Amino acid sequence: MSLISRGFAGRARTTSSDRLPPGQYDAGGSFPVLTAGPTPRVDIGTWDFTVQGQVDEVARWSWQQFRALPREDVTTDIHCVTSWSKLDTRWQGVSLDTILGHVETAAEYVTVFSDGGYTTNLPLEDLTGGRAWVVDTYDEEPLAAEHGGPARLLVPHLYFWKSAKWVRGLALTSTDEPGFWETFGYHSYGDPWRSQRYAGD
Amino acid sequence: MTTSDMTADGTADEGPESRRLDGNAAAGPLRELFSVDIIAAACTCAHCGGTTALAEHVLYADAPALVLRCPSCTGVVLRYASAGGQARLDLTGARLLVLDLAHDGRPG
Amino acid sequence: MTTPTVTTAGPARRGGRLLWTPARVRSVQAETARATRLVLEVPGWAGHVPGQHLDVRLTAPDGYRAKRSYSVASGPEQPHVELIVERLPDGEVSPYLTQQLRVGDELEVRGPVGGWFVWHASLGGPLQLIAGGSGVVPFLSMLQHREAAGSDVPARLLYSARALPDVIGADRVAATDAGVTLVLTRQAPATWQGPTGRVDARLLHEHVVPPDARPQVFVCGPTGFVEAVADALLELGHPPERVKTERFGTGGGAT
């Protein structure tokens, strides 16, 4: 059995709040950076966001076009699968409803892809209905590269690995194709309120 | 090579580079699974075909798993995590591991 | 079948998975203003090769855990396992190990681990060690072993530290018959005769065993230091297969 380390508490953390899903603690003022690879250096001049895959025509936005889309302020709680949560985070960006509004598709799933090769999958339905954004602003500042800047996905109702950093687009698919962590056994949906960490949870 | 975050005294300030370690730091976790030390193994990358000791691979440890990437092409070579009573190992990026059985770090 | 040369019971036995085991803290001493030397008694310790690590795991009463890996500072001939832990300002584990841990406490450890960044007298030389900050720790073990084993392998240490009071392992560094070059990067006494500033190709050229002597080179320190030094060594003609590196982070999430 494990030994309790006398006097060790670890980082100060709150674990009891009805805003915290099971097994999560409140990271408070800190914003942990989790990274599985090098931070991509992104040139805004060549950055674009595309919606491709099962679509009649690939939709593409340059950085300037993306910045000109209608913007929304979002204040939300986020939940990382490694058990930290952060409450009342403030973002600004473009709703996926806006981005997907012009897209005709029969697809039911999405593979989100990013600079650096990261991917994650989720049902297309979860990107609509005011539940997902492409954000480029955090706490009124341009999103820092370590947190996914210039732009990342924000899908706060799912574990935060679904909110892909350095996002570059969506590939619409008819089947659910596991992404970077999902191929490692992480849950294909990832609902923090149902503790869907691993496949089978 | 990123040295911009390094102060002149050879200590790193907090920055992205301080999150980049090497395979040496994965030795302990991998001994949860393997009875020998595999970080000294020469690993052939399934992405680019380059061969390097796992110890000299780039390690990202601040993630849901330990992620070892090829020092030549940055492709993912190995992922390992243990949680909830299960160990997970992905070696799809490692085409071949060659391990010297004569000694596992010890003079033999 | 071959017979293992090291056959022992206990946590460090050869073969088999490695389990966490309680160690007892025998002493806690200030090494420098920011670093602390821990002397541990690890039951069943089968000995280590200089350069190997010991993993440490802390568990809070609510089950929260944090793990870190530290190079062993002591040599294999010394009676106990010693770690030198530098306190990181935003750290989670290092403040506990340097400020809260007391003699008699138990600490869960796993080791020794790591079979790559190691040196033993039987591996020969010449030996060139290059350290940035607390990256000197594995080299203290190597130097202790070299002397205890009566090895005549020529050895040099190039050690970059902020200032004289930050020198870790000062006793060992002063006592060794290996050639030592200390580089002070932030603050040097007015009487200082040695090199100062960043460890660059020029400094490496002047103070490191040249490539034609075929040294085994070990570089340990923060990531930026190690990568800059390794690059400069390759430029100077050291073959990559004779340069081993070990990076340590300054942060690190709990796993």
pLDDT digits (tens, 9 = 90+) for A20-47: 999 899 988 889 999 899 999 899 999 9
pLDDT at C35: 96
Interface residue C108 vs chain A (CB under 8 A):
yes
- CA pair distance A4, C58, nearest whole angstrom: 7
Burial B74-94 (b: 16+ CB within 10 A, else e): bebbbbbbeeeeeebebeebb
Using a CB-CB distance cutoff of 8 angstroms, which residues of chain A are in contact with residue C59? 2-5, 8
Residue C119 reports pLDDT greater than 60: yes
| Interface A:B, Cβ pairs < 8 A | 48
Consecutive H or E run containing B33: none
Of B19, B79, B83, which has the smallest distance from its Cβ to A35's Cβ?
B19
Domain boundaries, chain C: 21-113, 121-248
Read off the pLDDT of residues A108-146 as tens digits, 9 standing for 90 and up.
999 999 999 999 999 999 999 999 999 999 999 999 999
Question: Please, which residues bridge with residue A167 across strands?
Answer: A114
Q: Which residue of A has its CA nearest to C63?
A: A4
- Residue C12: the pLDDT is 45
Mark yes or no for CB contact B106/C55 under 8 Å: no
**Whole-number pLDDT of residue A9:** 85
Per-residue pLDDT of chain B in tens (108 residues, 90 and over written 9): 222 222 333 333 334 556 789 999 999 999 999 988 999 999 999 999 999 999 999 999 888 999 999 999 999 999 999 987 889 999 999 999 999 887 544 544
The encoded tokens of residue C253 equal 């999430």
Kind plus residue range of the DSSP H or E element containing B14: none
Residue of B nearest to A145 (CA): B16
* Cα-based torsion angle of the residue sequence A128, A132, A135, A137 in order, rounded to the nearest 10 degrees: 130
Other Cβ atoms closer than 10 A to A124: 18
Q: Do C227 and B5 touch (CB under 8 A)?
A: no
Least confident of A64-73, A188-197, B16-25, C69-78: B16-25
The model's pLDDT over C171-208, given as tens digits with 9 standing for 90+, comes to 999 999 999 999 999 999 999 999 999 999 999 999 99
Q: So what's the pLDDT on residue C182?
A: 97
Q: What type of residue sits at position A63?
A: W
The minimum CA-CA distance between C65 and chain A, rounded to whole Å, is 8
Question: Chain C interface, mutation test: which of B17, B31, B80, most C Cβ atoms within 10 Å?
Answer: B31
pTM score: 0.89
Q: Which of B5, B14, B18, B20 to mutate to test the interface with A (most CBs of A within 10 A)?
A: B20
In this prediction the ipTM stands at 0.89
CB contact (8 A) between residue C59 and residue A8: yes
Query: Which residue in chain A has the smallest CA separation from B63?
Result: A34
Q: What is the pLDDT of residues C9-40, one digit of tens each?
A: 344 444 578 899 999 999 999 999 999 999 99
Element (H, E) at B29: helix B27-30
pLDDT at res. B6: 29
Is C15 touching A (CB cutoff 8 A)? no
* Secondary structure, 3-state, chain A: CCCCCCCCCCCCCECCCCCCCCCCEECCCCCCCCCCCCCCCCCCCCCEEEEEECCCCCEEEEHHHHHCCCCEEEEEEEECCCCEEEEEEEEEEEEHHHHHCCCCCCCCEEEEEECCCCEEEEEHHHHCCCCCEEEEEECCEECCHHHCCCCEEECCCCCHHHCCCCEEEEEEECCCCCCCCHHHCECCCCCHHHCCCECCC
Q: How far is A125 from chain B (nearest CA, A)?
A: 26
Q: Measured between beta carbons, which residues in chain A are less than 8 angstroms from residue C92?
A: 10-11
CATH, range C21-113: 2.40.30.10
In whole angstroms, what is the distance from residue B4 CA to residue B17 CA? 9
In this predicted structure, the answer to whether residue C3 has a pLDDT above a threshold of 50 is: no
Complete domains list, chain A, with CATH: 48-194 (3.90.420.10)
Can you tell me the distance from the alpha carbon of B107 to that of C122, in angstroms, rounded to the nearest whole number? 7
> Which residue ranges make up each domain of chain B?
18-98
Top pLDDT among A200 and B18 is at: A200
Q: Looking at beta carbons, which residues of chain C come within 8 Å of B37?
A: 113-116
Q: Which helix (H) or strand (E) holds B17?
A: none
Report d(CA B14, CA B19) in Å as an integer.
9
Confidence of residue A12 (pLDDT cuts 50, 70, 90): low
Structure token digits, residue A199:
């496949």
Task: Give the per-residue pLDDT at B8.
Answer: 31
Which one, of C110, A36, A186, A182, lies nearest residue B83 by Cα?
A186
Mutate which: A4, A6, A8, vs C, most C CBs within 10 A: A8
Rounded Cα–Cα distance for residues C23 and A133 (Å) = 50
Give the mean pLDDT of C68-93: 93
Q: Do C224 and B12 touch (CB under 8 A)?
A: yes
Residue C42 pLDDT: 96
Backbone angles phi, psi at C231, to 5 degrees: -60, -45
Q: What percent of chain A has pLDDT over 90?
A: 84
Restricting to A residues 81-110, those with a Cβ less than 8 Å away from any Cβ of C are 82
**Calpha distance C22→C33 (Å, rounded):** 28
Comparing A12-16, A98-102, C56-60, the range with the smallest average pLDDT is A12-16
Contact B27 C160 (CB under 8 A): no
Among the listed residues C9, C200, C27, C23, the one whose alpha carbon sits nearest the alpha carbon of residue C103: C27
pLDDT band at C253 (very low <50, low <70, confident <90, very high): very low
Residue A91 has pLDDT above 80, yes or no: yes
pLDDT at C252: 39
Chain B neighbours among C 164-193 (CB < 8 Å)? 185-186
CATH number of C121-248: 3.40.50.80
Residue C221 CA to residue C227 CA, distance in Å, equals 9
Q: Is residue A180 pLDDT above 70, yes or no?
A: yes
